């Protein structure tokens, strides 16, 4: 949204510049006030510059639009969930794409519908809820599932509630 506002401001500035320079020169040329052909040539030159600037602004707007399309394609959320782990009992609330979340000895395993999860192909954000002081999170993949490891300050795997978003 900021890009549209910024680009709109650029277009407005270009148009104001164009009208402040081109219109007075054209008016002088039409009056026949004795100005020679060099002034008329100057007005045509300025008109040409303004046209080129407007073209560049249009190209810039198109480039920003293309970039937005690429970003939207590259970073689309495909799975979102909250995993509550209270006294060893898991409760999962999330999108339909989150098929299963389980605790496997030292880590959580998350199965995402239609995805063979390899950590290199996804961006995953994990946020701890409940106790998080001194805890750290590491994500990875194993056998096509997302793995979430939570460690205490001594490096011991622990169970804790968390939220996650997976982008593809």
Task: Compute the average pLDDT of residues 86-104.
Answer: 94
**In angstroms, rounded to a whole number, what is the distance separating the alpha carbons of residues 50 and 57?**
10
Q: How confident is the model at residue 59 (pLDDT cuts 50, 70, 90)?
A: low
Range of the domain at 40: 2-74
Q: What is the pTM of this model?
A: 0.57
Strand order in the sheet with 89-94: 89-94, 77-86, 162-167, 123-128
Region of poorest pLDDT, from 8-17, 58-67, 97-106: 8-17
Same domain, 95 and 110: yes
Q: What are phi and psi of 132, to 5 degrees?
A: -140, -5
Both 61 and 103 in one domain: the answer is no
Regarding whether 120 and 58 lie in a shared domain, the answer is no
Please state the domain count of the chain. Answer: 2
Shared domain for 53 and 82, answered yes or no, is: no
Binned at pLDDT 50, 70 and 90, residue 66 comes out as: low
Domain end among 51, 74, 97: 74
Q: How far are the Cα atoms of 67, 107, 145, 149, 165 from residue 157, in angstroms, in the given order?
A: 41, 7, 18, 7, 21
Residue 117: count of CB within 10 angstroms of its CB = 24
Domain boundary among 74, 97, 123: 74
Q: What is the pLDDT of residues 125-167, one digit of tens each?
A: 999 997 778 999 999 999 999 999 999 999 999 999 999 999 9
* Per-residue confidence (pLDDT) for residue 133, from 0 to 100: 85
Transcribe the chain into DSSP letters: -HHHHHHHHHHHHHHHHHHHHHHHHHHHHHHT-S--HHHHHHHHHHHHHHHHHHHHHHHHHHHHHHHHHHHHHHS-EEEEEEEEEETTEEEEEE-TTEEEEEEETTEEEEEETT----GGG-EEEEEE-S--TT-EEEEEEETTEEEEEEE-TTS-B----EEEEEE-
Q: Are residues 23 and 96 in the same domain?
A: no
Q: Are 41 and 30 found together in one domain?
A: yes
Domain boundary among 20, 51, 74: 74
Average confidence score pLDDT of the chain: 78
Residues 65 and 116 in one domain: no
| Nearest by Cα to 76 from 126, 129, 121 | 121
Instruction: Tell me, yes or no, whether 38 and 110 share the same domain.
Output: no
d(CA 72, CA 168): 10
């Amino acid at each position: 949204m900021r890009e549209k506002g910024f680009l709109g401001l650029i277009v407005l500035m270009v148009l104001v510049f164009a009208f402040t320079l081109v219109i007075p020169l054209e008016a002088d040329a039409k009056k026949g006030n004795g100005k020679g052909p060099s002034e008329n040539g100057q007005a045509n030159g300025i008109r040409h510059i303004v046209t080129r600037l407007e073209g560049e602004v249009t190209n810039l707007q198109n480039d920003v639009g293309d970039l937005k399309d690429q970003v939207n394609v590259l970073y689309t959320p495909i799975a979102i969930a909250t995993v509550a782990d209270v006294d060893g009992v898991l409760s999962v609330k999330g999108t339909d794409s989150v098929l299963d979340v389980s605790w496997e000895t030292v880590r959580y395993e998350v199965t995402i519908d239609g995805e063979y999860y390899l950590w290199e192909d996804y961006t995953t954000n994990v946020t701890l809820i409940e106790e998080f002081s001194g805890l750290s999170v590491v994500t990875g993949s194993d056998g096509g599932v997302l793995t979430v490891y939570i460690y205490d300050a001594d490096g011991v795997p622990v169970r804790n509630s968390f939220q996650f978003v997976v982008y593809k």
